[in-house]
Structure 1
Amino acid sequence: MIRLNGGAGTRAGLFCIGLLMLFVAGCASQNAGPGTAGGEARLSPADAAQRAADQGDYAEAAARYGEAAGRTTNADTQRMYRLEAGLAAAQAGDVQTARQMLASLDPSTLGPVDHARYNLAQREIAIADMAPGKALANLPPPAKNTAPAVAERVWEKRAQIQFSANRPVEGIAALVQRGAWLERQTAVQANDERTYDAAADAIGLGIGPDSTDAANADDTVRGWLALADIGQRAFSDRSQRDDALAEWQQTYRGHPANRFVLADQFDYQGTMAVQPVTRGGVNTAGSAAAKPSSDQVALALPMSGAFKNAAGAIRDGFTFAYRNNTGGLPSPISYDSSNLNAQALAQRAENDGIGILVGPLDKDKVAAMARQQLPMPEIGLNTIDEPVRRDGFYQFGLDPADEAASAARHAVDEGDRNAIALVPQGDWGDRVLDGFRDALNAESGQLVDYRTYNSDTHDHSQAIQAVLGRGNQANADVIFVAGQPTQARLIRSQLKYYHAGDLPMVTTSHAYAGQPDPDSDIDLNGVNFVDMPWVLGNGGTIARLRQEAASTYGSSATDYARLFAMGMDAWVLARRVAKAELSADEPLEGMTGVLAPRSDGHITRYLGWAVFRNGRPQTLSMPSTADVRAMPSSRAPSRGSDYRTNTAPTQGNVGAGLN
């Protein structure tokens, strides 16, 4: 396995106590200069920390920054070193140290770039225990307008994750991108050396420039592998090796290795000018590279089996939206994807000359389709926990993490920044919790504590007492509860029993069945929740369309209202793709929310805000594209790729996309 120095888990946790001891010792000896035994000892702690960070040894960097913080008497300088120590610890995967250092800071006092770095460190902490695929999905490539100091950290962490997952080619590609964002020459040189070392390790594993693993790599990555291959070959004399290097230069003209590596590793002086690597994502989805070859849209859904009812509602919503606004496009073709694997579905779409493919629905097939190299844009009807390197691949679904993030932003709008949470055990609960926590951190809020509960039981007293205990209830402004209607009602009642009825409760749309049920939902009085415009909207376009849909499609439009609305928005997205009108960070109004395409292809939803009164939902605000577009950068969604340092949508005339 290839690992970078400072990768996730490297010395993680082992230097935490040592760092704090260094900090204490530094306070006691602030006037003591650095030692003089050897060149490294003559470096100041801050300089030693910077050099360690350049070399990718973030555990060492965190320790040295902690020492530097202990040696200074200047409060501002001490705060700066604590920030750097926390950031380095987060890069090293040492969650405990990172949390301790960052907890000593008030993020509101940080400048825009440092605030963005602080938020990124919180994200790194959140993904520390995730599987590589899920971690990468939660740490998308930075956008081109990201601050360099933030972007290079993103690429560094992505490289670490790729190497830890035994993906050396992808890890090298991430280091190449990191080098494009570095601004100090010493950092660039250290990054080049690390890239070469990683390429040499890949060669040792039999992964060369012409290997299957490198089939989709760009010339820069292949060039690093080819150079490392030369470095490990046996030559009869130096001139033969230099001939090989000269040939390599002609094959990979302007390669970054000309900067330092040829001279440092090979003592080769025949260098040439370096062609700068373009900043940006590695094959990010939704780019201009994938354009429809025709106007024909195909909808692929599992029309038999366990998902047939959900698929039927999505299909009906898709058809309903098409009939309301065809956009001048031909009638969509439908595929039953129940018995089609990804390869068969891709082949059929190509054979039929499909320009835009919408679907499939189930997560595993969406993930498999994301790995297919199709020439056409595709809108997968689910979200997946792995990076996508296919141009023109979008992910659109009713992602519970988006809803949790909206709930967090709305809670902060109400002045509630300190939260506790109760979520069900399992992957769904983990996903919801991650979405809520990430958005809360982005708002400079804090998740004080959380507990999971067993959704198969009715007695949640143990989880409730645990999350309210240890002073949490007094320190919390709000409690976030995720669950289906029955569980949400039970937890609300049991919170009252344990004298926490006055603690504001927020939740997602899952707590509301979608149709008024005042007798049952009376227990949810005062609870705020997020939901889509199709459910919360009253009057105007939405009311008219809901009535038409119910009249035409019956229970498909009423009993499966949210999925029906998802189908409507899927058509709107497909129509936008066909017209080349779907672009990153340009929101559009939909029935499932304001839809914000991101540069990684994920379609983020912004939702409405409601409260239960007398057992009935009462709409408080609706999302609008104007509000999403005007959001400060610190309100960016958790899956966004700009990492900037963001007011939730409130008002809006939703429904224009169908007219």
Structure 2
Amino acid sequence: MTLLRLVCPVLVLILLSACATAPASRTLSAEAEQAESLFLEGEFAAAAQAFVTAANSARGDRDAYLLRAAESYREAGSIRTADNLLNEISPRRLNADEQLRLQLLLAELALATRDDAEARNLLDPLTAANKSRHRARWLELRGRAWQRSDPFFAARLFADLGQDLQGRDRRDNAQRIRDLLASLSDQVLKSSAESLAGRDPLRAHAVRALTARGFAIPPQLRRQAAEEATPISPEASERIALLLPLSGPLRLAGEAVRDGFLAAHFQAAGQGGEIEVIDSGGDADSAINAYRRAAARGYRQVVGPLSREAVGALFASGDLPVPVLALNRADLPTPRGHMSFALTPEDEGAAAAGRLLQRGLPRVIAVVAADDGSQRALSGMQQRLTSGGGEVLGVVQIDERKVNFQEEIRAVLVAAGLPTSRPQELEIPHDPGFDAVFIAVRPAAARLLVPQLKLFGLSEVPMIGTSLLFDPAGDARMDRELSGVEFVDSPWLVDDLPGLPLRSTLSNHLEPLRGGAARLFAFGLDAWRLLNQRNAADPSMAEQGATGMLSIDEFGDVQRDPAIHVFRSGRPRRVVEGALMTDGGPQG
């Protein structure tokens, strides 16, 4: 992009010293006012054309209106047209704010062509932007410009940006920070974290990343409990109301969570005070009424409700005098002073994608079913993979009622331009044009699917799936077909863990542990631990739970990193440190 090379050296000097020829403010012409109205209405393409018209009829303000036209084309997604317009702009005829906006737009165009170095040259000198109304955009663009060459510095920029964001934007930004830190080697993460001060915006993210890998926290990053903004008070667990659906369509799920919560409570010899289990019913109104009863009875902490609809309705009610540990994620942000904890398909998909990115396997083919859980897992995987520079090359959607999926697989490979022919000898090395397969289907379908994938010469291609692949009460003989396939799931379902009730003992006495409800039992175990083992701890520090490594982020949401397992001779095994594994062993 020649424009950047021509304009950048002059423009940097102009931005660093006030330009006497540029007016400090402008009075818009009638045409420009009409264009601004179109822009505010979201009619960006029409606004761009109107600004060009205004520029052609207002010679003195021509450059400013062309800049607004370019910004409008940017919002409309027409980056190339915006670039062409910028060739006609004289920076000397812009005021200071307009010069800053021009510099930001030039940097964004550089990023669009993956010219990170040019974007850094444009952005780094703009220190005045840090105190301007364009601060958030400047930080976001700088983070993007640095994330490939210095992920830790980019994470610091995004952490600074996070202080200016709200709601979903802030959550997405936090996930981007977690992905950047996860991409660092152990040595780089440790040495970089030691450079942080105790109140650095990146502190909580760095602490979580270090503890998740089992590293000690540098002294300057440690905090006393009183300094940390945790939603749980030391007295909160003295009287707990457990709001769960013990009637209606979610009764069995509610009972499994209840049993897990109480099992953790009884193992701790009753520590944690009084617990009352309250039926939250089968709809959102019943859950809100159950919360109000708990508050009226003087309980200091509410755990629940369980359904997404009930949690959303409770958070939207706005009247929450008693702290809540909600057992699902709502569309609304978690209110300040409360927490949410969830087992979501999106989180499992994201964990699988994180595993792929860590191992340098960014090109993925996905195989999913049509149900809600599979589709949500796919969404989480795609979002995490693409944010980390990966790509889903194709999605095979199968009907789990069928037994032959080869036509569906072949059609997706053809559409993606990938080879479909298999070698005559399946053990001959074969390059399929992608790095790994993501699977989100149930065990019965997976046992049919995996051998059919291998018929396409994919015996040595790593495969990773969600917890849908594993039935804790399944038949190991049938699961031999899945040997070598990895999946993300709650570690307690496979191994007994320190500090938790022994699953091998409980499974002989509790019905929920013999089927899929075992995950909800483990979820209940962790809900109790979150309340009773974090009162004096740093919430950002990751700790081993039944459902994975747990930490609490700055929004009150519990972050969960499930464990990676692999099928070996039909039985799940925890994956040792190293690469994804095929049936033949570790892969680099």
Residue 309 of structure 1 corresponds to 252
Question: Does residue 42 of structure 1 match 2:63?
Answer: yes
Residue 320 of structure 2 corresponds to 374
Q: Pick the aligned partner of 1:614 from 566, 569, 575.
A: 569
Residue 176 of structure 1 corresponds to none
Q: Pick the aligned partner of 1:481 from 439, 455, 459.
A: 439
Q: Percent identity?
A: 28
Deviation at 1:521, TM superposition (A): 1.2
TM-score of the superposed pair, with normalisation by structure 1: 0.56
Contact 1:290 1:391 in 2 (8 A): no
Cα distance per residue 1:423-442 (max 9 Å; x no partner): 22243333212211122123
Residue 175 of structure 1 corresponds to none
Q: 1:581 to 1:377 in 2, by over 3 A?
A: farther
Residue 575 of structure 1 corresponds to 532
Q: Which amino acid aligns with 2:532?
A: R
Question: Does residue 440 of structure 1 match 2:385?
Answer: yes
In structure 2, distance between residues paired with 1:495 and 1:610: 20
Residue 513 of structure 1 corresponds to 471
Alignment size in residue pairs: 429
In structure 2, distance between residues paired with 1:49 and 1:568: 57
Q: What is the correspondence of 1:157-172 to structure 2 with a 5 Å cutoff?
A: none
Q: Pick the aligned partner of 2:274 from 331, 355, 359.
A: 331
Q: 1:118 to 1:460 in 2, by over 3 A?
A: farther
In structure 1, distance between residues paired with 2:361 and 2:103: 26
Cα distance per residue 1:365-384 (max 9 Å; x no partner): 12112223211111121223
Residue 262 of structure 2 corresponds to 319
Residue 504 of structure 1 corresponds to 462
In structure 2, distance between residues paired with 1:150 and 1:539: 35
Residue 287 of structure 2 corresponds to 342
Contact 2:339 2:557 in 1 (8 A): yes
Contact 1:371 1:388 in 2 (8 A): no
In structure 1, distance between residues paired with 2:328 and 2:105: 42
Residue 355 of structure 2 corresponds to 410
Cα distance per residue 1:75-113 (max 9 Å; x no partner): xxx9996861498xxxxxxxxxxxxx4xx4277998695
Q: What is the correspondence of 1:232-631 to structure 2 with a 5 Å cutoff?
A: 295-325=238-268, 328-338=271-281, 341-372=286-317, 373-384=319-330, 386-388=331-333, 390-469=335-414, 470-472=416-418, 474-515=432-473, 517-537=475-495, 545-551=502-508, 553-559=509-515, 560-576=517-533, 579=535, 581=537, 583=539, 585-621=540-576
In structure 2, distance between residues paired with 1:65 and 1:289: 46
Deviation at 1:63, TM superposition (A): 5.5
Deviation at 1:572, TM superposition (A): 0.8
SS at match of 1:422: strand
SS at match of 2:573: strand
Q: Which amino acid aligns with 1:338?
A: G
In structure 2, distance between residues paired with 1:109 and 1:41: 27
Q: Which amino acid aligns with 2:348?
A: E
In structure 1, distance between residues paired with 2:497 and 2:77: 61
Q: Which amino acid aligns with 2:574?
A: T
In structure 2, distance between residues paired with 1:115 and 1:288: 31
In structure 2, distance between residues paired with 1:494 and 1:518: 20
SS at match of 1:371: helix
Deviation at 1:38, TM superposition (A): 2.1
Contact 1:5 1:57 in 2 (8 A): no
Q: What is the correspondence of 1:622-641 to structure 2 with a 5 Å cutoff?
A: none
Question: Does residue 66 of structure 1 match 2:76?
Answer: no
In structure 2, distance between residues paired with 1:309 and 1:84: 52
Q: 1:586 to 1:528 in 2, by over 3 A?
A: same
Contact 2:487 2:564 in 1 (8 A): yes
Q: 1:488 to 1:532 in 2, by over 3 A?
A: same
Q: Which amino acid aligns with 1:606?
A: D
CA RMSD across the alignment: 4.4
SS at match of 1:341: helix
TM-score of the superposed pair, with normalisation by structure 2: 0.62
Cα distance per residue 1:485-527 (max 9 Å; x no partner): 1122222122223343443211012101124633211221221
Q: 1:157 to 1:371 in 2, by over 3 A?
A: closer
SS at match of 1:530: strand
Contact 1:317 1:557 in 2 (8 A): no
Deviation at 1:475, TM superposition (A): 3.2
Contact 1:290 1:375 in 2 (8 A): no
Cα distance per residue 1:26-62 (max 9 Å; x no partner): xxxxxxxx989624433596x5578x47xx9723884
Q: 1:60 to 1:524 in 2, by over 3 A?
A: closer
Identify unmatched segments of 5+ residues in structure 1. 23-33, 73-77, 88-100, 121-142, 159-285, 624-646, 649-659
Deviation at 1:388, TM superposition (A): 2.6
Identify unmatched segments of 5+ residues in structure 2. 1-35, 90-101, 121-138, 148-154, 171-227, 420-431, 581-588
SS at match of 2:441: coil
Q: Pick the aligned partner of 1:84 from 99, 108, 112.
A: 108
In structure 1, distance between residues paired with 2:520 and 2:243: 15
Contact 2:110 2:119 in 1 (8 A): no
Q: What is the correspondence of 1:113-152 to structure 2 with a 5 Å cutoff?
A: 114=141, 116-117=143-144, 146=158
